Structures are given as structure tokens and as C-alpha cells.
Amino acid sequence: MRYFLDISYRGTAFHGWQIQPNAHTVQEEINRALSTILQQDITCLGSGRTDTGVHALQQVAHFDAELSDSLEQLQYRLNGLLPPEVSIKAIRPVNPEAHARFDAVRRTYHYHLHQQKDPFKTGTSYFFSRNLEVAPIREAIALFKSWKNFQAFSKVHTDVNHFDCDIYEISWQETNDGHLFSVSANRFLRGMIRAMVGTLLEVGQGRLSQSELENILASGERSRAGRAVPPEGLFLTEVKYPESIYLDI
């Protein structure tokens, strides 16, 4: 039987989602907890990677097992075994061929910035105190929405077949003490969102014009785009799937 896990985690303590040698990862913790409880070797597969320090309000992973406990009991036992920074919010049965990565139709990320020093935001928001003009930023994200190839915002030497992404929704909002960038798409490239935000900060400070931004996008050269902002402001907030894959709908 195949199941989807809805997972949330604070990424500060982890070297990202995906298992890697000599590093503490979220996937490793969940595999260990599942294997301990179910008394068998379990490997879960996530909807995608998140980098070191990046958080998730909703990450999704699938695993295969025959369960003797109810889903509620398994959720309770997992949460008791996992570290405080990781929470299982739901476990749902899915079709046997359902895949957490390949069946996702939309992913949404938020990036948080605060502009006044706040010790309670440390680790979950990027402190950026310089003034920003929002109007040119919003003009820039309109260009992003109409664009397709985002190679200029991808980490170099990444293993992908193409750099095309369909952006469904994108916004830049002013908050009480800073800014919130939100973007939804069918897929994202490695490092893409942090590079997008870093480039938008250049636009908002008047260091990059709209025509220069369009030239950067057309060039596909990562070195011409803005720096990658720190990971602590970035949250994977939602991963959506066709309702037909769930067995309990």
C-alpha cells in the first residue's frame, strides 16, 4: 500500500530535505522513524528538495508499507519519535502508482523579509533594512510570469533536461514590518527562488532596470542575475496533486 505524508519542518537544523553523506537531513529522520516503527526498511521519496536552512509548511513524501496500526496511530507514533523541528500533519492512502514528485501539479513558495531588527524572526525571515521601491519589483514579476526559460536563475551544473517553468501565480506584498514574495509554478529549478528574490532586491533598489532584467533572462547566464538571498526566509508552503490519486476522497 502506498501513502502520502504531509510534513512540516523548520529547516534551520537540517542540511536540507534529501539524504546525503555526513549530513543531517529531514528525509533521513523520517526514514529512520518509519523504519523503527514499522520494523522494516522504509524509504520515503519527497516532492522535491529543499536546501540547507529552508523550511516547509507542507512537504509531501510517499512510502510503501503494510500497516497494522491505524493512520492516526502511525501519525501519533511518528510525531513522538521525530525531532521537535519535524511534524507529520497527515497520512493519506493513495493509488499504488502515485508519486510525490512526478504527480505534483503545483508547488508554492513564500520568501519572508523583515526590515526592522527582530530577534523573534531570526531563522525564519531575512533581515533586509535597505529601502525598496515596490512598483518596479511588481513590474519585474509581471515579466517573470510571462517568461518560460529560467536558466539565469538556476544553479549551474544542475542535472535537468530543460529550464522551462510555468509560473501560475506570483506576487510581492508589503507587510507590517517587511515584504512577502509568493510564487506558484509547476516546477522550480535548484536555487531559482532565492536567485529571483536576490534579483528583485536589485530592481527594488534601482540597481537593475526592466530592460536589463529582460536581457539577463534572455541570456540564461546565472552570473548576470542577482545573488542568492539567504535560505532562512524561504518556505515551501504547498504542494498540490490531482484529487484522483487519493483513495480517501
DSSP bridge pairs for 4: 62, 92
Pairing verdict, β 86-94 and 2-9: antiparallel
Give one DSSP letter per residue of 32-70, joined into a string: HHHHHHHTS----EESS---TT-EEEEEEEEEE---SS-
The angle subtended at Cα 181 by Cα 179 and Cα 187, nearest 5°, is: 165
> Which among 59, 56, 46 has a CA at the least distance from the CA of 99?
46
CB 82 within 8 A of CB 91: no
CB 48 within 8 A of CB 61: no
184 φ, ψ (degrees, to nearest 5): -125, 135
Tell me whether residue 118 is one of the annotated catalytic residues: no
Catalytic residue among 51, 64, 159, 177: 51
Pairing verdict, β 86-94 and 106-114: unpaired
Active site residues: 51
